[in-house]
A and B are shown apart, each in its own frame.
Chain A
Amino acid sequence: MDELIQYGPFLAEGFLENIKLALVAGVISLIFGTVLVSMRVSPTPVLRAAGTIYVNVVRNTPLTLVLAFSALGLSDTLGLTFSTVPRVNSFWVVGLGLAAYTSAFVCEALRSGINTVPLGQAEAARSIGLTFMQSLTLIILPQAFRSVIAPLGSVMIAMIKNTTVATAGGYLADAAANMKEVFDTTGASIPIFLGIVLAFMAVTLPVGYFTGWLARRLAVVR
């Protein structure tokens, strides 16, 4: 217990980084996932193919590899940098890598939502003269989104937990990295383990409850 109290602030600092990564990845993946699903249902074959390839490649690649690729491939080799401060650069490499990965899951959740929207909704939208993009953004996606709020909550919970592999992308400041650093000096500590588990649960449980509540509240009645 003592070591939890002693290293608590250090671990909490790390946990804050997990939350920041989750916020970045959450916002960006919701936006990019929506773009991806729009591509996957678009009437343009090239866009459809690009969306499909992206989702299938990213979704079937282990996250650690996606992050390592972001860090080594994009940042180091291709010189794509977000900041001259290495720590800040790593944060964005990992945040965006995680967003890129999570987007594929957001896309697929939304796509299953689109499948719950009856075909007649799109036909009615087209028949009053809405363009494809208008039908999608005004009629189809709003209904699709409402029908998959709970599954999207699960995607977000998985994403929050996935922030703990930030190390794979070279970001060594999150709770898991700090925990490992502490263990290297004190040895493994059950209280520290449990403390971090509880910290994650304190975030993920409310996300689950909130999205469940929102799903019921916003359900589309047919």
Chain B
Amino acid sequence: MTDNGDGAPLIELENVNKYFGTLHVLKDINLTVSRGEVLVVIGPSGGGKSTLCRTMNRLETIDSGKIIFDGRELPAEGRALAALRSEVGMVFQQFNLFAHKTIRENVTLGPTKVRKTPKEQADKRAMELLERVGIANQADKYPAQLSGGQQQRAAIARALAMDPKMVLFDEPTSALDPEMVQEVLDVMIGLARDGMTMVVVTHEMGFARRAANRVVFMADGQIVEETTPDEFFTNPKTDRAKDFLSKILTH
């Protein structure tokens, strides 16, 4: 565990509710993530983890409640919303690299088009980031030419290129072959060490124990437990959590 997570609140969710039609997917969620904190969200499939993550950069709208990011309520639309999203990085399970652009272009697109960074400067920064995630030698390839692990590391570099205040990870290693999981987790652990604020949906217990400050266990749209990683994995309080842990620990 790292020693960050003692800063002021960066994002606060207050009584957030979300429905898909009649399905109540987020039920009165109250959650605060502090600057520099690494929060792991864990729980059974369909519990609302992705939706929770996606409300934080408004890829999903909410039906009631409030989300305050960096002291301001999330803007509803337009340029203000685009500006907010540029400050919140997102890493997807399926990588979602721009298929028609090279890895380098994937990383420079945001800075040049959103931040209007000059191209040479964006290129230089992209190469530094690709170096950092260990795929600088793949810069001029297209996403489909890379392994899943390399693609996900490129996606992390793309998110970091915007110098985000926070990065959301939605099951970043779930689509990877087992031998590629660690290379991605290593990058994420490095990021956590450097003090990045992170919300990570994952079932990787190793990552949670090494990098997370806090674990939130989510089921049926509710936060069922909220505690430290050690406490959660060794001494879960609720039956739901015990049941869930027994399932992920046995395979």
- Can you name the residue of chain A whose Cβ is closest to the Cβ of B92? A120
Q: Is A217 on the interface with B (CB-CB < 8 A)?
A: no
| Most central of B78, B99, B144, B155 by chain A CB within 10 Å | B99
Chain B residue numbers with a CB within 8 Å of A130 are: 82, 109-110, 113-114
Q: What per-residue 1/0 map shows which CB atoms of A123-139 lie under 8 Å from chain B?
A: 11111111100100011
Contact at B59–A220, with CB atoms within 8 Å?
no
Q: Is A146 on the interface with B (CB-CB < 8 A)?
A: yes
What is the predominant secondary structure among interface residues of chain A facing chain B? helix
Q: Is B158 on the interface with A (CB-CB < 8 A)?
A: yes
Chain B residue numbers with a CB within 8 Å of A134 are: 113-114
Q: Is B90 on the interface with A (CB-CB < 8 A)?
A: yes
C-alpha gap A125/B99 in the complex (Å) = 12
B122 to chain A, nearest CB (A): 12
- Can you name the residue of chain A whose Cβ is closest to the Cβ of B86? A129
B248 to chain A, nearest CB (A): 26
Chain A residue numbers with a CB within 8 Å of B94 are: 118, 120
B159 to chain A, nearest CB (A): 7
Contact at B162–A123, with CB atoms within 8 Å?
no
Contact at B85–A221, with CB atoms within 8 Å?
no
Q: Is B247 on the interface with A (CB-CB < 8 A)?
A: no
Chain B residue numbers with a CB within 8 Å of A125 are: 98
Contact at A121–B98, with CB atoms within 8 Å?
yes
B89 to chain A, nearest CB (A): 7
Q: What per-residue 1/0 map shows which CB atoms of B78-119 lie under 8 Å from chain A?
A: 110011111111101010111110000000011001100000
Partner of A127, one of B59, B77, B78, B145: B59
C-alpha gap A142/B162 in the complex (Å) = 23
C-alpha gap A118/B109 in the complex (Å) = 19
Contact at B142–A221, with CB atoms within 8 Å?
yes
Partner of B110, one of A43, A129, A222: A129
Chain B residue numbers with a CB within 8 Å of A126 are: 59, 82, 85
Contact at B59–A123, with CB atoms within 8 Å?
yes
Chain B residue numbers with a CB within 8 Å of A120 are: 92, 94, 96
- Report which A residues bind B (CB closer than 8 A): 43, 118, 120-121, 123-131, 134, 138-139, 142-143, 146, 220-222
- Report which B residues bind A (CB closer than 8 A): 57, 59, 77-79, 82-90, 92, 94, 96-100, 109-110, 113-114, 142, 144-145, 155, 158-159, 162
New A-B pairs, 18, CB < 8 Å, besides A124-B158, A128-B89, A138-B109: A43-B77, A118-B94, A120-B94, A121-B98, A123-B59, A124-B96, A125-B98, A127-B85, A128-B85, A128-B158, A129-B86, A131-B79, A131-B82, A138-B113, A143-B100, A221-B99, A221-B142, A222-B99
Q: 9 A-B pairs, CB-CB below 8 angstroms?
A: A127-B57, A127-B90, A127-B159, A128-B158, A130-B109, A130-B110, A143-B100, A146-B100, A222-B99
8 pairs of A and B residues whose beta carbons are closest in the complex: A129-B86, A128-B110, A120-B96, A124-B96, A127-B90, A221-B144, A129-B114, A129-B85
